[in-house]
């Protein structure tokens, strides 16, 4: 049985390990913690073995620690790195490469340049099979992942008729559980957002995509305002909405008031971590003007990349057929059921 270690137990790592622990095809060896805080006890109480850096062992003496991260990595077939952005690169150089262990990195890392973690950004809708023979792959960030779910169906249906994608990303300031970051009363702009190059890396360098990104004071999801320009008159809004009807991880909602409305509903029906794990097209504010479709969708920041990591893991460890991998991910994440519930709750009135 393949052994998987999750390095990092923050917003992303804690979700990944919780879901993949139920996967009978792998053995989850444990999780890496770096600070001796409440989350150590939380991980242990959920039945996970916690490993810590050798040099910090003393700081964790009040907890039942299972061993050193440096040692457990040598026993792993795959590490899912869920460290803070940029630290994944350091881990690759100091741990994964020297120990010859495969790894998945998260979207806060870079591909290309001096601190590149991988040659590929994964998006299950676009390049699932490309991960088969890769030792190191980066899972796109939440915004980058959501955008692939929108762009790829458009590209397949309309091809050369698509002239330009102008997207404004309204990014959440911090995550729900992130008590360290204060949400400031400000709107901040991002110079040269990484999302543009990240999306083009898997959609194709010639993708006519232009992104602006603003950070807004909320913890409740991202919203993308995507203007899709056609060469000639644009299709109807209904045609665009129909395009996403059967897309995995895309729900179409009509009467949500805002992102918190969706999060509250997810919490009320006890979705794990209050996550929907998907993007939500807001059909009531999607409009067409001349040659342009103005699409609005929200993106569940922490949830969306978690099933993606599971799909990527299956591609790297088992080279599983794409449709079998999706079926298996569905058994753990129940996204079809979540989509149905969301669409019923936020249906057209
Ligand atoms: N949050 C999101 O919505 C989101 C969405 C998509 C992608 N991502 C990406 O996912 C990655 C993780 O983000 P996050 O939000 O989960 O961060 P986070 O909540 O700050 O958690 C980071 C975790 O990494 C641990 N850590 C510290 N040093 C480490 C090291 N040297 N090696 C491994 N782990 C280490 C921390 O441990 P201690 O707490 O024990 O110090 C903490 O558990 C980033 O690349 C981020 O860009 C985040």
pLDDT reading at 304 higher than 90: yes
Cα→Cα distances 310→25, 116, 277, 304, 316, Å:
12, 22, 12, 11, 10
Q: At what angle do helices 11-20 and 322-333 cross, to 10 degrees?
A: 100
Nearest residue to 154 (alpha-carbon basis) of 279, 253, 242, 276: 242
Residue to substitute in 18, 82, 107, 304 for testing ligand 1 pocket (most ligand atoms within 8 angstroms of CB): 82
Q: Is 85 in the pocket of ligand 1 (CB under 6 A)?
A: yes
109 CA closest ligand 1 atom index: 45
Region of residue 184 (left: phi > 0; alpha: psi -120 to 50; beta: else): beta
Classify residue 234 by its DSSP letter: P
pLDDT of res. 334: 97
Q: Ligand 1 centre from 308 Cα, in Å?
A: 16
pLDDT reading at 109 higher than 90: yes
Give CA–CA dist 55/213, Å, rounded.
39
Q: Is 195 in the pocket of ligand 1 (CB under 6 A)?
A: no
pLDDT of res. 133: 85
Q: 3-class SS at 16?
A: helix
- Does the annotation mark 142 as catalytic? yes
**Protein residue with least CA distance to atom 37, ligand 1:** 34
7 CA closest ligand 1 atom index: 33
Q: For residue 334, what are the contacts with CB-CB under 8 A and spacing of at least 6? A: none
The DSSP bridge partners found for residue 224 are: 169, 297
Band (349; pLDDT cuts 50, 70, 90)? confident
Q: How large is the average pLDDT for residues 14-21? A: 98
Q: At what angle do helices 322-333 and 305-318 cross, to 10 degrees?
A: 140
Q: Residue 293, Cβ neighbours under 10 Å: how many?
A: 21
Q: Are 253 and 343 in contact (CB under 8 A)?
A: yes
Q: Is 139 in the pocket of ligand 1 (CB under 6 A)?
A: no
Nearest residue to 283 (alpha-carbon basis) of 337, 218, 210, 346: 346
Q: What are the φ and ψ backbone dihedral angles of 284, each rounded to 5 degrees? A: -70, -15
Q: Ligand 1 centre from 108 Cα, in Å?
A: 9
Cα→Cα distances 249→53, 72, 131, 227, 278, Å:
36, 33, 20, 21, 5
Q: Residue 309, Cβ neighbours under 10 Å: how many?
A: 24
pLDDT reading at 162 higher than 90: yes
Q: Is 235 in the pocket of ligand 1 (CB under 6 A)?
A: no
Q: Is 32 in the pocket of ligand 1 (CB under 6 A)?
A: yes
Q: Ligand 1 centre from 286 Cα, in Å?
A: 34
Q: 3-class SS at 348?
A: coil
**Protein residue with least CA distance to atom 19, ligand 1:** 10
Q: Ligand 1 centre from 82 Cα, in Å?
A: 5
Q: How large is the average pLDDT for residues 140-145? A: 98
pLDDT reading at 139 higher than 90: yes
Nearest residue to 102 (alpha-carbon basis) of 113, 114, 87, 118: 118
Q: Which domains, and CATH codes, for the chain? A: 2-140+305-333 (3.40.50.720), 142-302+334-345 (3.30.360.10)
Q: Is 140 in the pocket of ligand 1 (CB under 6 A)?
A: no
Q: How large is the average pLDDT for residues 2-25? A: 97
35 CA closest ligand 1 atom index: 40
Nearest residue to 342 (alpha-carbon basis) of 295, 258, 280: 280
Q: Is 263 in the pocket of ligand 1 (CB under 6 A)?
A: no
pLDDT reading at 11 higher than 90: yes
Look at the block and give the residue holding tokens 């990484």.
194
Q: How large is the average pLDDT for residues 100-123? A: 96
Q: Ligand 1 centre from 80 Cα, in Å?
A: 11
**Which candidate in 117, 142, 304, 325 is catalytic?**
142
Q: For residue 323, what are the contacts with CB-CB under 8 A and spacing of at least 6? A: none
The DSSP result for 82-127, as a single string, is -PSTTHHHHHIIIIITTTT-EEEE-TTSEESSTTEEES-EE-TTT-
Q: At what angle do helices 142-158 and 195-203 cross, to 10 degrees?
A: 40
**Protein residue with least CA distance to atom 32, ligand 1:** 83
**Burial of 347: CB neighbours in 10 Å, binned 0-12, 13-18, 19+:** exposed
**Residue-wise pLDDT tens digits, 213-229:** 999 999 999 999 999 99
Helices assigned H by DSSP within the chain:
11-20, 38-45, 69-74, 87-91, 142-158, 195-203, 237-243, 259-268, 305-318, 322-333, 335-345
Q: What percent of the chain has pLDDT over 90?
A: 98
Q: Is 30 in the pocket of ligand 1 (CB under 6 A)?
A: no
């Amino acid at each position: 049985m393949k052994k998987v270690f999750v390095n990092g137990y923050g917003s992303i790592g804690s979700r990944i390990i919780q879901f993949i622990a139920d996967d009978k095809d792998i053995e989850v060896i444990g999780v890496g913690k770096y600070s001796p805080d409440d989350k150590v006890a939380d991980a242990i109480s959920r039945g996970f073995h916690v490993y810590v850096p050798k040099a910090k062992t003393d700081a964790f003496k009040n907890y039942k620690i299972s061993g050193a991260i440096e040692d457990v990595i040598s026993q792993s077939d795959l590490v899912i790195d869920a460290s803070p952005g940029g630290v994944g690169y350091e881990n690759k150089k100091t741990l994964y490469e020297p120990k010859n262990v495969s790894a998945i990195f998260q979207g806060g890392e870079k591909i290309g340049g001096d601190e590149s973690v991988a040659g590929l950004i994964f998006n299950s809708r676009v390049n699932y099979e490309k991960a088969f023979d890769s030792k190191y792959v980066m899972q796109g960030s939440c915004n980058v992942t959501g955008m692939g779910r929108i762009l790829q169906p458009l590209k397949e249906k309309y091809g050369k008729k698509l002239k330009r994608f102008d997207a404004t990303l309204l990014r959440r300031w911090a995550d729900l559980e992130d008590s360290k970051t204060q949400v400031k009363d400000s709107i901040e702009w991002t110079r040269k957002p990484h999302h543009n190059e990240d999306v083009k890396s898997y959609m194709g360098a010639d993708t006519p995509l232009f992104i602006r990104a603003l950070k807004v004071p909320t913890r409740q999801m991202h919203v993308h305002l995507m203007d899709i320009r056609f060469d000639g008159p644009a299709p109807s809004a209904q045609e665009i909405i129909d395009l996403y009807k059967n897309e995995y991880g895309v729900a179409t909602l009509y009467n949500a008031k805002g992102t918190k409305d969706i999060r509250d509903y997810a919490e009320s029906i006890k979705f794990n971590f209050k996550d929907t794990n998907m993007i939500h097209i807001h059909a009531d504010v999607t409009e067409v003007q001349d040659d342009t479709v103005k699409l609005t969708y929200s993106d569940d920041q922490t949830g969306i990349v978690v099933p993606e990591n599971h799909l990527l893991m299956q591609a790297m460890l088992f080279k599983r057929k794409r449709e079998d991998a999706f079926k298996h991910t569905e058994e753990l994440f129940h996204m079809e059921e979540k989509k149905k519930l969301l669409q019923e709750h936020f249906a057209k009135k």
